[in-house]
Amino acid sequence: MTSQPMVADQETRTPTPSAWWARLPWLRIGIVLAAVVAAIVLAYLRSGSTVVVTQAVVTGILIGGVYGLVAMGLTLIFGVLDIVNFAHGSFLAIALFLSYYLVAGMGMHPYLALLIVLPAMFLLGALVQRFVLAGAMGKPLENQLLITLGISLVIENSLLLFFGANPRSVSLPGDQGVAILGAVAELSRILAFVGALVLAGLLFLLLRRTSLGTAIRAVAANDAGAQMVGIDTRWIYMLTFAIGTACAGAAGVLVAPLVTIEPVTGALFNIIAFVVVVLGGMGNVVGALLGGLVVGLAEQLGALLLPGQSPLLVVFIVFVLVLLLRPQGLFGRSGS
């Protein structure tokens, strides 16, 4: 190493590296916030009651965090494996029933169930990817679509077979209403939100701060390039699908005390997760969390704006508007 050539690049397109906050889409964040404020004002004009509106906002944000966690798993799978996973909600349903079994059948505390359900769903995800989906990697989109749709049918009907169609529920010991910001929310709802945020934060740290996470993002960015630095992409695919499935599993445990547990409950979360993923930008993990909050708010405020309609109606109106005006999603990267 005697003589080092001094390489001076004459091209200067980008003079200084920009700080992370300068790369945030501030304008779009502002527009989304303005739309939320407008919806809140409209809801207030429509209902005439501050308490009702505050309640809707608090409930919307709390459930939105959980939607965000479910969608983070789905968007991660899409970003890395390029698979549209229609079985995501069904995995959540499995977690709901597992939780129910552990709590009602074995007397476990609803949140301790996480310690069993999370690894179990991780393992299930890894197995499904390795033995069912691995063969469809790189094949046309329809193949994967039909396979994941098939998996969801198998899961839903297996649950029906084993547990029957009777709705079940899990209750959190000591669950009660808690006054929060002038509204009242069940303790279980608050804890579900906090749990979802903590897990979302951990996933974010994994992706941003560890070399495994960087490898996952590298595979998402360019899988040929990843192979050329010696990353075994098959292994990353399996791991990512497992992590995504574990997100659905964790969300299942957290919402178990809040929902009626039926085989079809998963389908509802599946639809919402897809809306959130598109809103947040396909493959954008942070966008998914923000999209979750937007959908949670749209659902709750929508019930006030259009009383008597399905709360999903406004969610879909927002969805269609975003697809028309900004198909790459609210927080997606602009067309490049």
Partner 1 sequence: MLEVKGLSAGYHHLQILHELDLEVHEGEIVALVGANGAGKTTTLKTLSGLVRPTAGSITFGGDQAVGVRPSELVARGLVQVPEGRALFGPLTVEENLRMGLWTRRKEARASADLEEVFELFPILLERRKQLAETLSGGQQQMLAIGRALMTRPKLLMLDEPSTGLSPKLTWTVLDAVKTIRDRGVAVLLVEQNAAQALNLADRAYVLESGSIVLSGTGKELATDERVRKAYLGL
The residues of the shown chain that bind partner 1, judged by CB under 8 A, are 1-11, 13-14, 17-18, 211, 214-215, 217-218, 221-222, 224-233, 336
Alpha helices in 82-130 (DSSP H): 88-100, 114-128
Residue 220 vs 243, nearer CB to partner 1: 220
Residue 161 vs 229, nearer CB to partner 1: 229
**Contact indicator for 252, 114 with CB cutoff of 8 Å:** no
Q: How far is the CB of 334 from partner 1 (least distance, A)?
A: 13
Q: How far is the CB of 184 from partner 1 (least distance, A)?
A: 42
Q: What residue type is assigned to position 79 of the chain?
A: G
CA distance 56 to 293: 12
Q: How far is the CB of 88 from partner 1 (least distance, A)?
A: 23
Residue 29 vs 221, nearer CB to partner 1: 221
Residue 23 vs 27, nearer CB to partner 1: 23
Nearest to 252 by CA among 268, 229, 241, 236: 268
Q: How far is the CB of 4 from partner 1 (least distance, A)?
A: 6
| H helix and E strand count, the chain | 12, 2
DSSP letters spanning 220-241: HH-HHHHHHTT--HHHHHHHHH
Residue 22 vs 106, nearer CB to partner 1: 22
All residues at 6 or more sequence positions from 203 whose CB lies less than 8 Å from its CB, including other chains: 72, 76, 243, 247, 285
Q: How far is the CB of 304 from partner 1 (least distance, A)?
A: 39
Q: How far is the CB of 174 from partner 1 (least distance, A)?
A: 45
Q: Beta-carbon neighbour count of residue 127 at 10 Å?
A: 14
In the three-class reduction of DSSP (H, G, I as helix; E, B as strand; rest coil), residue 131 is classed as helix
Residue 106 vs 228, nearer CB to partner 1: 228
